[in-house]
Amino acid sequence: MKENRKILDEIGGKSGFTVPEDYFKNLSTRITEQLPEREAPKIEIVTPWQRLRPYIYMAAMFAGIWLMVQVFVAPAVEAEQELTAAAEQEEELDEYMLYSMDEYTVFETFYADNE
Amino acid sequence: MAPIYNEEIVIDKLHNPDTMREAFGQVVEHYGERIYWQIRKMVVSHEDADDLLQNTFLKAWNNIDLFRGEAKLSTWLYRIAVNETITFLNKERQRNNISIDSDDCFLLNNIESDPWFDGDELQLRLQKAIATLPEKQRLVFNMRYFDEMKYEEISEVLGTSVGALKASYHHAAKKVEEYLLSHN
């Protein structure tokens, strides 16, 4: 293998290819002369409205959802809370009546109701 | 005297319509020779290499907006040159009715009468040995042996891992050496 490497080392990375005289000297000029004209890149002007539009749309969407909750969901919840509160109040009143009356009055009340 | 080449400044100028042509001239001046030799070693003929070099820079010019500076400018140019070269070789194989599995020795048919080849007998044998390599191995061998490019740089150009490139170069060098010894 060492003998083999010796061959590649002997060649020393030289390909044997050549180029016409002054080929590289004129290369840049020759190539750039042949380049076509380029149009200036189009710069898109973004207006403040275009920049803010997605955020405004998102805010409007959230406002809409909030409004719908206020109109449809909130009154129903409120009514339910009121009913619960009223029921709780009635139960509390019954309990108060039971505790504040003596046994005789309680039986009397039951009998009166049954009659 | 040519201005000192500063890649960052040149890239900035390339994105400015007023300075892009001048900056591109600097790019050609700076990388033209290296890219030429890379193409030339693959296609052998000077005329073909010259055409492909012009196509490479023309493509680079037309697509300069796509260069965002993520890779080095040299890597980007090498990639374009490799693509141009491979496309050319495929067309040449088709034109010469050469199967894809065959070697590219047909490229050396006229090398001995080529005015732009003045290599000795050993260099001629080396070119013949290189022409027997598969295309990818030939690219790797040329970049490593002649241009002494780092594996990391070759990896960026060819999109192959450094480990695979090392193995590829090892196989290529071994085949070239065997050819050189057996055709002594």
**What tokens does B5 get?**
């080449």
First to last CA, chain B: 47
A17 interfacial to chain B (CB closer than 8 Å): yes
CATH 1.10.1740.10 fits B1-102, yes or no: yes
Chain B positions touching A41 (Cβ under 8 A) are 17, 65
Mean per-residue pLDDT over chain B, rounded: 91
Task: Give, in degrees to the nearest 5, the angle at Cα B109 between B51 and B143.
Answer: 55
In the block, tokens 């490139």 appear at B165
- Partner-chain residue, chosen from A1, A4, A41, that has the shortest CB–CB distance to B17: A41
Check pLDDT > 90 for residue B25. Answer: yes
DSSP track, A41-100:
PPPPPPPHHHHHHHHHHHHHHHHHHHHHIIIIIHHHHHHHHHHHHHHHHHHHHHHHHHHH
pLDDT of residue A2: 47
The full set of domain ranges for chain B reads 1-102, 104-184
CA proximity to B28, closest of B76, B65, B77: B77
d(CA A52, CA A48): 6
pLDDT of residue A25: 92
Whether the complex's predicted ipTM is more than 0.90 is answered with no
Structure confidence by residue, pLDDT tens digits, B62-72: 999 888 777 89
d(CA A104, CA B3): 117
Structure confidence by residue, pLDDT tens digits, A37-77: 876 555 566 788 888 999 999 999 999 999 999 888 888 88
Element (H, E) at A36: none
pLDDT of residue A1: 45
B128 contacts B183 by C-beta, under 8 angstroms: yes
- A window 91-110, beta carbon within 8 A of B: none
* Main-chain phi, psi angles of A75, to 5 degrees: -60, -40
d(CA A38, CA B181): 53
Are A31 and B181 within 8 A, CB to CB? no
Q: Which of A35, A39, A44 to mutate to test the interface with B (most CBs of B within 10 A)?
A: A35
Are B36 and A27 within 8 A, CB to CB? yes
- In angstroms, what is the C-alpha Rg of chain A? 48
Are B127 and A40 within 8 A, CB to CB? no
In single-letter form, the type of residue at position A25 comes to K
A15 interfacial to chain B (CB closer than 8 Å): yes
Q: Residues of chain B whose C-beta is under 8 A from some C-beta in A?
A: 17, 20-21, 24-26, 28-29, 32-33, 36-37, 40-41, 44, 46, 53-54, 57-58, 61-62, 65, 116-120, 122-124, 126-127, 145-146, 148, 173-174, 176-178, 180-181
- B104-184 CATH fold: Arc Repressor Mutant, subunit A (1.10.10)
CA proximity to A97, closest of A46, B168, A105: A105
CB atoms inside a 10 Å sphere around CB B142: 22
Give the distance from residue B28's alpha carbon to the nearest chain A alpha carbon, in angstroms: 5
Look at chain A and count its residues: 115
SS3 label, residue A12: coil
What angle do the packed helices B20-43 and B7-14 form, to 10 degrees?
Answer: 110
Pairwise pLDDT comparison (B48 vs A11), residue with the higher score: B48
Mean pLDDT on B161-172: 96
Mean pLDDT on A22-35: 92
d(CA B20, CA B23): 5
Are A31 and B32 within 8 A, CB to CB? yes
Are B177 and A4 within 8 A, CB to CB? yes
* Main-chain phi, psi angles of A95, to 5 degrees: -60, -40
Q: Three-state secondary structure along chain B?
A: CCCCCCHHHHHHHHCCCCCHHHHHHHHHHHHHHHHHHHHHHHHCCHHHHHHHHHHHHHHHHHCHHHCCCCCCHHHHHHHHHHHHHHHHHHHHHHHCCCCCCCCCHHHHCCHHHCCCECCCHHHHHHHHHHHCCCHHHHHHHHHHHHCCCCHHHHHHHHCCCHHHHHHHHHHHHHHHHHHHHHCC
A4 interfacial to chain B (CB closer than 8 Å): yes
- Partner-chain residue, chosen from B17, B33, B118, that has the shortest CB–CB distance to A24: B33
Chain A positions touching B119 (Cβ under 8 A) are 14-17
Domains B1-102 and B104-184 share a fold: no
Mean per-residue pLDDT over chain A, rounded: 82
Are B180 and A4 within 8 A, CB to CB? yes
Structure confidence by residue, pLDDT tens digits, B86-112: 999 999 988 888 876 777 778 877 787
pLDDT of residue A3: 46
Structure confidence by residue, pLDDT tens digits, B110-163: 787 788 999 889 999 999 999 999 999 999 999 999 999 999 999 999 999 999
CB atoms inside a 10 Å sphere around CB B30: 18
